[in-house]
């Protein structure tokens, strides 16, 4: 049925914890900025389609909100 295994659990190469940490920080930053972009896109689309602001005003709003968001999240 089951075999008796003795010895260390980790049998492969040693873990590269610095690389794991870099990947984790990259993932968190990417998720943060993608979420910020999606929120600003929804706000700009709402302004462009549901008000009398128009497409170009919504585009300007998208650019301004993204710049402010990138500055705020740095």
pLDDT (0 to 100) of residue 28: 97
Identify the band that residue 15 occupies on the pLDDT scale cut at 50, 70 and 90.
confident
Q: Are 66 and 37 in contact (CB under 8 A)?
A: yes
**pLDDT tens sequence across 24-61:** 999 999 999 999 999 999 999 999 999 998 999 999 99
In terms of pLDDT, which residue wins out, 34 or 10?
A: 34
CA pair distance 44, 33, nearest whole angstrom: 16
Q: What predicted TM-score, i.e. pTM, was given to this entire model? A: 0.74
Q: Could you give the 3-state DSSP secondary structure of residue 61?
A: helix
């Amino acid at each position: 049925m089951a075999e008796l295994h003795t010895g260390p659990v980790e049998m492969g190469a040693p873990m590269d914890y610095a690389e794991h940490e870099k990947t984790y920080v990259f993932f968190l930053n990417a998720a943060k900025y993608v979420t910020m972009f999606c929120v600003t896109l929804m706000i700009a689309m709402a302004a462009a389609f549901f008000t009398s602001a128009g497409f170009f005003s919504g585009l300007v709003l998208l650019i301004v909100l993204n710049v402010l968001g990138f500055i705020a999240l740095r």
